[in-house]
């Protein structure tokens, strides 16, 4: 089946630094990647939608200059959290439409802790 590989699974960074999260589609082409954020005991909230070769679309309230998304190829999308602060600590998950049989395939998530 379709697989989205997400790395790193966990990262701890100092306040003010940047962190890059990668999502790769392993056996299919992901023209679109959805990026979600999930706070403890809450649902997944869509942050942005990236499309290969074009600018990402951000949901209301999500700072595009803080959460940089790059989707330069059909198999790789990245989310960079810039100048991270403790309130950015969360679980970040990517997802891509993976065809009619697999629906949407999710990455395994990245637990970001900003100290």
Partner 1 sequence: GENVEQHPSTLSVQEGDSAVIKCTYSDSASNYFPWYKQELGKGPQLIIDIRSNVGEKKDQRIAVTLNKTAKHFSLHITETQPEDSAVYFCAASRGNNAGNMLTFGGGTRLMVKP
Q: Which residues bind partner 1 (CB under 8 A)?
A: 6, 31-32, 34, 42-46, 49, 51, 91, 93, 95, 97-100, 102-109, 111
- A 10 A CB-CB count for 88 gives 19
Please say which residue, 76 or 106, places its beta carbon nearer to partner 1: 106
Nearer Cβ to partner 1 (81/94): 94
- Minimum CB–partner distance for residue 1 and partner 1 (Å): 9
Between 43 and 115, name the residue whose CB sits nearer to partner 1: 43
65-19-95 Cα angle (round to 5): 80
- Closer by beta carbon to partner 1, 14 or else 41: 41
Q: Are 19 and 80 in contact (CB under 8 A)?
A: yes
Q: DSSP characters for 56-87?
A: -EEPTT--TTTEEEEEEETTEEEEEE-S--GG
Minimum separation from the CB atom of position 83 to partner 1 (A):
26
Q: How far is the CB of 72 from partner 1 (least distance, A)?
A: 16
Contacts of 46 (CB under 8 A, 6+ apart): 34, 35, 36, 59
């Amino acid at each position: 089946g379709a697989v989205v590989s997400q790395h790193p699974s966990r990262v701890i960074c100092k306040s003010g630094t940047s962190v890059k999260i990668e999502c790769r589609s392993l056996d299919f082409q992901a023209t679109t990647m959805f990026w979600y954020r999930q706070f403890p005991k809450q649902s997944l909230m869509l942050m942005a939608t990236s499309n290969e070769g074009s600018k990402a679309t951000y949901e209301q309230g999500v700072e595009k200059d803080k959460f940089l998304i790059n989707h330069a190829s059909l198999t790789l999308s990245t989310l960079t959290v810039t100048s991270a602060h403790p309130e950015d600590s969360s679980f970040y998950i990517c997802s891509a439409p993976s065809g009619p049989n697999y629906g949407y395939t999710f990455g395994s998530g990245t637990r970001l802790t900003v100290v």
